[in-house]
Structure 1
Amino acid sequence: MATLFVLLTPATVRPTDLATYYSHDPAYQAYVLLYFGTYPAAEIYLARSCWKYARTASKPSIAFGLRLITIGAITTLGYSLIRIGAVEEPKLDSASSASTRLRGHAETSGRL
């Protein structure tokens, strides 16, 4: 992870749109996919463990807190999906524009 982070060479400071600005960079894509590929697994483990131990908790307040952590862990899974989607979107856009260019070329050459 540290190597991928170092490979990213920011050209300017972009505090508001860093993710979308660098989403085309292969090093950033690998970093984000690795990070958000492991993060959801940890969140799922946390949610399952907290839910399991909430059942056996001796005090209702502890059980409530563990269930609340479970809800938070599940909620952050949505964040992970959004971030992975932001990295994958440029790939999908370039693939669709490539197919549009090919279709246009086939139409002008009379092959379609």
Structure 2
Amino acid sequence: MNNAISGPSGNGVQQSISVAVVTAVARRRGADPTDLPPLYEWIDPDALDALFSPTRRGGSRDGRLEFTYDGHEVAVDCTDGASITIDGTPVGESVATGLEASASTDA
């Protein structure tokens, strides 16, 4: 399963949704991601990644999840890609999840 996304930095580096959330909150604060508390104190990172991973047949999953992380309201929306919103502000453009190609081959 490929639940990696191009991170909110837009640098093309593949990272999981959970890492992208921590990175986005850190950027919003102007801090280093390692300065933030662990994401698992608010939400299970493995469950977050699995929620937006491809289906067993490789198809995409659609959905939206909202939660609080260290005082910030976070929303992850996965329809045509993954988008992350922190405190109501989108973090960059929607980032590709790599699921679109596998969904088109499922027909």
For this structure pair, what is the TM-score category when the shorter chain's length is used for normalisation?
under 0.3
Q: Which has the higher strand share?
A: 2
Larger Rg: 1
